Amino acid sequence: MPFSPVTQTCTPVRGEINVRRDLTEVCRDAASQAVTIIREAVRLRGRCSIVLAGGSTPRSLYEVWARDLATKIPWPQVDLFWGDERYVPHDDRRSNYRMARESLLGHVQIPAGNVHRMDTSFADIDEAAEAYERLLKRYFTGARPDFDLVLLGIGTDGHTASLFPGSPAVEETDRWVVAVDAPADPPKRLSLTLPAINAAANVFVIAAGSDKAEAVRCALEGAPNVDVCPASGIRPESGRLSWWLDDAAAALARIP
């Protein structure tokens, strides 16, 4: 049953669920809602911290920012971070930084010093994770990285960022950034942890396609089971969670 393109709200712990007909509409509306968050954060605190998602789904959202909304975003006051990164050089076709550079960074006037990519040049990936955590702790003064907005995708297996089912990383409670061995190409990755993600003021999870429907259902329904479905652990401590789904990705989730 195709969902009508209206915002449907699930129980508060699951956040707001926005369903649209296709990825284009999802990214158009999510990008616009994100601009509202960005502008409010800058109005209130003079800065806005955003975590970019990797993979392919968010590319369309970044393109909307760059093409249609660039003049509405106060780039000099925006700081960009990454939720995860494949441990490859930044010009590697698999790099999340490269995807963001191609779809967004190369098209907007954001100061280079505002772009805080995960450094993948360390010989020891654990040192890279520690370095990024130090970077975050220099930026955030509190006990947690309270990003203004974290963008996430979800894998067909229920992973989010680079937190995969069965990985010890899904159980991490103290560190903000970890190195992981993923069942994906490339296997070595850096990822924010669930405590870091859940400290955010706003979290958007963006998914499209029927191949994501079971993962979305698993993440939205029942008690969280992060070992099986890491995305079920996306539960902001006090922030707002918004799912942005196309009809196909929402098809199996019972949305009242």
CA distances from 250 to 6, 137, 170 (A): 12, 36, 24
CA distance 234 to 224: 9
Cβ at position 9, least distance to ligand 6PG in Å: 24
Cβ at position 160, least distance to ligand 6PG in Å: 5
Q: Which is nearer to ligand 6PG, 47 or 116 (CB)?
A: 116
Q: Which of 49, 77, 120, 160: binder of ligand 6PG (CB under 6 A)?
A: 160
Cβ at position 96, least distance to ligand 6PG in Å: 5
Nearest to 142 by CA among 96, 201, 93, 88: 201
CA distance 211 to 30: 20
Residues 20-59 that bind ligand 6PG (CB under 6 A): 53-57
- Using CB under 6 A, which of the segments 3-11, 160-168, 169-177, 235-243 binds ligand 6PG? 160-168
Q: What is the 3-state secondary structure (H, E, C) of 49-112?
A: EEEECCCCCCHHHHHHHHHCCHHHCCHHHEEEEECEEECCCCCCCCCHHHHHHHHCHHHCCCCH
Q: Which is nearer to ligand 6PG, 77 or 172 (CB)?
A: 172
Residues 74-103 that bind ligand 6PG (CB under 6 A): 83-84, 86, 96
The answer to whether the CB of 148 falls within 8 A of the CB of 38 is yes
Q: Which of 15, 153, 165, 239: binder of ligand 6PG (CB under 6 A)?
A: 153
DSSP tag of 162: T
CA distance 253 to 95: 31
Q: Which of 155, 230, 233, 236: binder of ligand 6PG (CB under 6 A)?
A: 155
Q: Which is nearer to ligand 6PG, 93 or 138 (CB)?
A: 93
Token code pair at residue 166: 């069965």
Binding site for ligand 6PG (CB under 6 A): 53-57, 83-84, 86, 96, 153, 155, 159-162
